[in-house]
Structure 1
């Protein structure tokens, strides 16, 4: 399988090179030249498979040119054996035909573990084969950083530099990153917001001269295709558990960078019956404004109780735009260049095509807290603020009550105690046993100005062989 850039100018690459490259040389994102497609009969035959084996069935076509089947199966078995629930992604029922899929049973209590536990093993495998060293540079709005560090900290051939917005992630999220010890782990708190951090990462990938040609950058953000690939699997898992593929499913996805919901879009294109995808956002609602009114316009970023979605530049949205424009890279490049200068829209027929599958909603902090309280009072089930936004958006946008609606539960509520307290509940979410001493562990991080040269200088000085 070959991978092409959403901007049409970079050369097509194989899986190994896409894994290590992240951002294409033309500034675009890599997507498969073509997708595998599974028949209803084939999907039905996967019922009852353990999660790791289902992951093999869904993902192997993407990597078969690079990794032998037995090696990939072993990698997947190791990846999902560290999750705290035998089902890996268990479903919890909230109401008639309404479910939450718990994606926070991994080691860092967030859905990012599904992809980043695998990504670390993929990097180790490929870098060992190539006898190559890379520098991982990533930006996080809260959860990606800890999942990337946990997934990659044992990799012998990487140094990890994670940027997070200073004082704009929850304390639990910060400590999960900054208390992991290792000479190859570096946390950078940038005096800015997530979009500033993400911009620095993209700029650094575009010009890596600060590394003097001694190593290269590798991506852990959802710009890396391997992240998206791994997230496709749990859509199949949820569907199979609730009667799919013989009945269609609807999903509500709390999303800021559009990666998690784009994986659902791909699952549908690969043959899984999905009738509706709900984009659930907070006050930083650029995706909702586009999907509801065909206007893509950046506003001032706001700090909310759901910080992992405090994002205004949704990188993976480019991958959907590429499909909506008939995979015309030049058209996507032109649109995004205009979007950087002001509001843009796409042709009405393209937008209406997207609306056949996608709906959207934006949920403010008050409604988020109301939803947390309401679900707990009726079900004694505690939602984190991001999942609460997903549940509220699902209820506001649901098209057909006979179709199962599944909200992706993206994080453990213990990561966001301030939101739980603000909802008026006296219950205090507890960290699981393996994290019980989190607030006693020593932290290590460096605060830097919102300046790309300063960040690049820090990386150039501190990677292993600098």
Structure 2
């Protein structure tokens, strides 16, 4: 399997090159040259496989055995997903939300990893992939040769940072720099990042927004001289390996539901995904394209609703969020109770745009040549326009293609509070949801769906990571005590030693200076 950029399809890279490069030199995102179909007997052969076993099956469809042997891939996966790092033996368990028989609404809990967030699923694997490739390259060097090192740079709205740090802390030949918007992540998220004092870990607090941090990271990768000098690597969901890793739990969910049904019965599944940067739901799209049966994927956004507005109008555009009543905005981003979704643009949406542009070209020019290159040029033009004027309007034919596989809805803070309270006080089955999961739960409750459809809401983080939102929503509820929600590991975090570098504005040159000063320390 080879990979190419969404903005320039002529050059193809191996999986190893794709993972270590992260962002394409032309600013595009890497996608596979083709989407593999599932084996003919996959429903029988995979029916009772565990999460690690399913990971091996899915990953092997995208990774050539010439790059990672089957034995090495199995070792990597089992080293990533085991009970020493994960608090649940199923890794990403499904929890029924009602006592009904049959149950038609489930939570897919993705927060049982080291940092209590769904991003552990991908970033624990990505850290091991980095180590595997670097070790192999360095072992092939002659004595006296300079070792190959990687400088990992990422931006976080909260959960990516801690998950990336926990996945890469102490790794040889790797330095990691994580940018987060100062004062705009939860106290627990900030503590998880800044209390990791391994020498190869460097936290940078930027006075600005998450989008500012993300723009700085993209600028660093786009600076070819700086990139080559420091051998930059990406941990944000722009890195293809993250998307690939996340496809697995869609398959796990399918088989878990299928086992609850009478033999031979196929479940009608509807996945509802709290969505910011579009990576988690994009993984579901790839699973669907591979052949996993499901209905339309449901995008659940907060007040930062660029995706919901796109699906309603075909306009992908930044807006001045100060025009939205009763909101606080910094650089156009609305501060909400679900901060990990507080984004202005969705970086992974570009990958979907490529598939939409390609299929639209196929439909309008059947049998045409250079369809891949034409789609790349279309995406490049679109993204250049988003950068220059802040908006694009896609043709109606492209919007209809998008609506075939997705639908989207928006949730505000009042609805988030209401939903947290509703599910905690449910007479059927009490469930404590974090505010991002509450976005998905609210949308799930508002949808109309065919009888018998089973809803699966992706739960992206442990509720204790967002104490203010949860305690605010449940204030006055008889019997609620946040200490019963708070994991023991969190209770000591806020008093631990911290290490963080503050940058007084969203200035790429200031961040470059930090990398220049600390790169290689502890690696």
**Which of the five TM-score ranges fits, normalised by the shorter chain?**
over 0.9
TM-aligned CA deviation for residue 127 of structure 1: 0.5
Q: Which residue matches 2:442?
A: 392
Tell whether the 8 Å contact from 2:268 to 2:452 is kept in structure 1 after alignment.
no
CA distance 1:168–1:10, change in 2 (3 Å): farther
> In the alignment, what sits opposite 2:324?
none
Does residue 1:99 correspond to 2:106, yes or no?
yes
Q: Which residue of 2 aligns with 1:415?
A: 465
Query: Which of 306, 324, 328 pairs up with 2:338?
Result: 306
1:291 aligns with 2:331: no
Which of 330, 351, 373 is the aligned partner of 2:377?
330
- The separation in 2 between residues aligned to 1:120 and 1:61, in whole angstroms, is 20
Query: What residue in structure 2 maps to residue 343 of structure 1?
Result: 391
Matched residue SS, 2:41: helix
Q: How many pairs were matched up?
A: 465
| Contact 1:35–1:270 (Cα < 8 Å) also in 2 | yes
Superposed counterparts of 1:187-198, under 5 Å: 187-198=203-214
Q: CA deviation at 1:10?
A: 6.1
Q: Are the counterparts in 2 of residues 39 and 271 from structure 1 also a CA contact under 8 Å?
A: no
1:363/1:39 Cα in 2 relative to 1: closer, same or farther (>3 Å)? same
Partner of 1:427: 481
User: Which is further off, 430-439 or 354-363?
Assistant: 430-439
After TM superposition, give the deviation of residue 79 of structure 1 in Å.
0.8
Which deviates more from structure 2 when the two are superposed, residues 220-229 or residues 53-62?
53-62
Gaps of 5+ in 2: 139-147, 260-264, 320-331, 359-371
**Deviations 1:151-175, CA, capped at 9 Å, x for gaps:** 0113101000000000000000000
CA distance in 1, matches of 2:11, 2:496: 46
1:399 is displaced (CA, Å) by: 2.6
What do the CA deviations read for 1:257-296 (whole angstroms, capped 9, x no partner)? 0000000000001110011211011000000100122111
Tell me the distance in 1 between the aligned counterparts of 2:88 and 2:474.
29
Per the alignment, residue 440 of structure 1 pairs with 495
DSSP 3-state at the match of 1:274 = coil
Matches within 5 A, 1:209-248: 209-210=225-226, 213-243=228-258, 246-248=266-268
List gaps (5 residues or longer) in structure 1. Answer: none
Q: Superposition RMSD on alpha carbons, in Å?
A: 1.6
Residue deviations 1:419-454 (CA, integer Å, cap 9, x gap): 012213443153323443212211111110221100
Deviates more, 1:47-56 or 1:135-144: 47-56
Q: Contact 1:163 / 1:187 at 8 angstroms: preserved in 2?
A: yes
| Distance change in 2, residues 1:93/1:206 (3 Å) | same
Which residue does the alignment assign to 1:32?
Answer: 32
Shift of 1:9: 5.2
Q: Is the 8 A contact 1:97 1:401 kept in 2?
A: no
Deviates more, 1:334-343 or 1:256-265: 334-343
What secondary structure is seen at the aligned counterpart in 2 of 1:464?
A: coil
CA distance in structure 1 between the aligned counterparts of 2:225 and 2:7, rounded to whole angstroms? 23
